[in-house]
Amino acid sequence: MTEMRAAPRASGWRRLSDQLTAEQIAEIEQFERVTGPDAWPEYQLLNCARTAAKRNHAQKVCAHIAAPADAVGAVGEWEDFDDEGHLYGRQFVTSTRDVESGISLDLTGTQFSNGAVQRRILVWLETEELLAPQARRLATALIDAAGQVESLERPQ
């Protein structure tokens, strides 16, 4: 009697391997080796490869664009912002301010491949309630942060 072996799964995702890094290929191959009830269906492997290829393409297309001068630390990877490959954007941080324990502000932004930059102020609160003095300190910090955002967005 001949031993029955499971047929190898189709490798539709491999047609994208020229657009993937060696690390991405190794990761998808690891998912591909999973068998049994946890096995990844081919469409998920293909979707994983498509997502990685799309991300790689965005990095390549935008590689020549310098980070905003006010960006500190790591700048995020380029992402497709219109799902058509016409507009890419990446996140960055300008500064972080601790107002007091449990209250902080981040000045962040999105840099777009068309040259536009959109800056924002993120408020981080560990509580939903503030005492009046805390609210005043937060309000002062927000006004200062808004001034910084406006000065960064003002044409030089």
pLDDT tens across 56-75, in order?
999 999 999 999 999 998 89
At 11-68, the pLDDT tens digits run 689 999 999 999 999 999 999 898 888 888 989 999 999 999 999 999 999 999 999 9
Which tokens belong to 7?
Answer: 């047929």
| Domain-located, residue 147 | yes
How far, in Å, CA of 31 to CA of 40, rounded? 6
Mean local confidence (pLDDT), 133-139: 96
Give the Cα separation of 112 and 14 in Å (integer).
31
Residue 3 reports pLDDT greater than 60: no
Number of domains in the chain: 2
Q: What is the pLDDT of residue 11?
A: 61
The predicted structure's pLDDT at residue 82? 87
Mean pLDDT of the chain: 90
With a cut of 50, say whether residue 151 has pLDDT above it.
yes
36 against 125, higher pLDDT: 125
* Domain span holding position 20: 12-61
Q: Whole-prediction pTM value?
A: 0.77
- Asked whether residue 89 falls in the same domain as residue 42, the answer is no
Report the distance separating Cα 96 and Cα 110, nearest Å.
16
pLDDT tens profile 81-91:
887 878 999 99
Question: Residue 156: its pLDDT value, please?
Answer: 66
Residue 125 lies in a domain: yes
User: Does the residue 118 lie in any domain?
Assistant: yes
Kindly state whether residue 31 falls inside one of the protein's structural domains.
Answer: yes
Same domain, residue pair 89 and 118: yes
Q: Please indicate, yes or no, whether residues 88 and 115 belong to a single structural domain of this protein.
A: yes
- Same-domain status, 86 and 46: no
Structure tokens at 61: 């297309």
Residue 8 pLDDT greater than 80, yes or no: no
pLDDT in the model for residue 75: 96
Residues 50 and 96 placed together within one structural domain of the fold = no
Q: Are 115 and 75 in contact (CB under 8 A)?
A: no
Tell whether 67 is covered by a domain.
no
